[in-house]
């Protein structure tokens, strides 16, 4: 890389990290002021609050606003360069417009790579810290078991599809003891019930890492005749584990991408609702880094032109573009989770649209 590349990259990265640092401090201060009462009620010390909550909250807020602050940083320092006629001098020296954009490509790809890796593995760990703390101290009614309490209030009723022909239901399932009951398992073939299994209880056997059913009654109809078998205990090879039954509104955020993919496949097989939301989350982790690169290029093209009003005009244009991007992203997500829009397409629609925006702006940029 040449001096020009290092010069622009230094300004790019220093402006971005300084901006994201300042905003993170402001966000933490605001969050502390809003949650002071909750922290007092939790009876936790300063150290526990930092390690059990803010170690998860800070990465969460940084990842949430990462693309926006990349965009703002690019517009801010590029506008300053344009205002001082540095870009005019660079282009007048014989440097092509594409050559001038090279450090923006490098910086955008570098930051996009950081965000991609963080989205796949690091941010889910942070979300697990933040989600567990919020579910326990801020939002005790958010957990899956509390939202779906049974009539007697001791647990939740869970229904799953084990495979293409087998369906199961667990009544009064308690996530703490990993036990529930009564239980039914139905096997269906050609829209007819061919086997009906019932048990008084089912629990997770930690010794063999399998589900165990007690006082099982198995009914089947081979050849049109009823056959009844009774066992005091049976070990079942179900493909779900206790962790798969413990769901809350933070579940999709807590899972690293390999775990999320496995969870999506499992939920699709079980016929669960809300699978589109999981697929959107998986796609978002791959699409957001591309968004960083697109916004970097848009910011460079927009702010690289010297105009009256300087940085103010560039920032105004930048905020309008960012608002349009966010609206496009939100609408596509809602149409996917609440409608019939394919979730994979929903995550990529904003990027597809803004690819054409980048091309249009690039063609109109003075070179």
Give pLDDT tens digits for 12-27.
Answer: 999 999 999 999 999 9
DSSP, collapsed to helix, strand or coil, labels residue 308 as coil
Q: What is the mean pLDDT of residues 270-274?
A: 68
> In this model, does residue 248 exceed pLDDT 70?
no
Structure tokens of 335?
Answer: 């149409």
Give the E-state strand segments of 94-164 in sequence order: 156-161
> In this model, does residue 143 exceed pLDDT 70?
no
Please give the Cα distance from 77 to 147 (Å, whole number).
Answer: 48
Query: 367: buried, middle or exposed (CB in 10 Å: 19+, 13-18, 0-12)?
Result: exposed
Q: Is-contact 173 144, C-beta < 8 A?
A: no
- pLDDT by residue (tens digit) across 300-324? 998 888 766 666 777 787 778 878 8
| Number of Cβ atoms within 10 Å of the Cβ of 138 | 15
Please give the Cα distance from 99 to 23 (Å, whole number).
Answer: 32
> In this model, does residue 149 exceed pLDDT 60?
no
Q: Which long-range contacts (CB under 8 A, 24 or more apart) does 210-214 make?
A: 210/235, 210/236, 210/237, 210/238, 211/235, 211/236, 211/238, 212/236, 213/183, 214/181
Can you give the residue ranges of every domain in the chain? 3-139+273-364, 145-245
Structure tokens of 265?
Answer: 């496949």
Mean pLDDT of the chain: 84
| Number of Cβ atoms within 10 Å of the Cβ of 159 | 13
> In this model, does residue 144 exceed pLDDT 90?
no
> In this model, does residue 35 exceed pLDDT 60?
yes
29 backbone φψ class: left, alpha, beta (φ>0; ψ -120 to 50)? alpha
> In this model, does residue 164 exceed pLDDT 80?
no
Q: How confident is the model at residue 148 (pLDDT cuts 50, 70, 90)?
A: very low
230 or 11, which is more confident: 11
Q: How confident is the model at residue 325 (pLDDT cuts 50, 70, 90)?
A: confident
- pLDDT by residue (tens digit) across 200-217? 888 888 888 888 888 888
Q: How confident is the model at residue 155 (pLDDT cuts 50, 70, 90)?
A: low
């Amino acid at each position: 890389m040449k001096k020009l590349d290092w010069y622009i990259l230094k300004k790019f990265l220093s402006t971005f990290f300084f901006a994201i640092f300042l905003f993170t401090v402001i966000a933490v201060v605001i969050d502390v002021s809003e949650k002071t009462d909750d922290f007092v009620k939790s009876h936790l010390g300063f150290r526990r609050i930092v390690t059990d909550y803010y170690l998860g909250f800070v990465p969460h807020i940084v990842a949430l606003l990462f693309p926006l602050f990349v965009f703002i940083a690019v517009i801010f320092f590029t506008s300053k360069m344009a205002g001082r006629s540095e870009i005019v001098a660079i282009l007048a020296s014989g440097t092509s417009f594409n050559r001038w954009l090279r450090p923006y490509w490098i910086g955008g790809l570098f930051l996009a790579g950081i965000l991609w890796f963080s989205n796949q593995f690091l941010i889910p760990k942070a979300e697990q810290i933040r989600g567990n703390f919020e579910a326990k101290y801020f939002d005790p009614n958010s957990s899956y078991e509390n939202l779906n309490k049974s009539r007697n209030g001791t647990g939740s009723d869970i229904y799953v599809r084990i495979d293409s022909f087998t369906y199961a239901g667990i009544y009064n399932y308690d996530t703490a003891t990993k036990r529930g009951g009564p239980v039914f398992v139905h096997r269906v073939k050609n829209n007819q019930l061919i086997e009906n299994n019932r048990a008084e209880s089912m629990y997770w056997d930690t010794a063999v890492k399998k589900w165990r059913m007690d006082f099982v009654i198995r009914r089947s109809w081979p050849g049109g005749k009823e056959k009844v078998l009774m066992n005091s205990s049976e070990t079942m090879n179900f493909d779900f584990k206790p962790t798969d039954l413990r769901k809350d509104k933070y579940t999709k955020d807590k899972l690293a991408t390999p775990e999320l993919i496995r969870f999506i496949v499992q939920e699709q097989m079980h016929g669960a609702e809300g699978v589109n939301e999981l697929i959107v989350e998986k796609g978002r982790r791959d699409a957001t880094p591309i968004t960083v690169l697109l916004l970097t290029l848009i910011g460079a093209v927009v702010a690289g032109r010297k105009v009256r009003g300087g940085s103010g005009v560039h920032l105004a244009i930048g905020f309008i573009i960012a608002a349009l991007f966010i609206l496009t992203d939100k609408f596509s997500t809602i149409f996917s989770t609440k409608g019939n829009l394919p979730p994979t397409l929903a995550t990529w629609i904003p990027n597809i649209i803004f690819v054409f925006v980048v091309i249009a702006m690039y063609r109109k940029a003075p070179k």
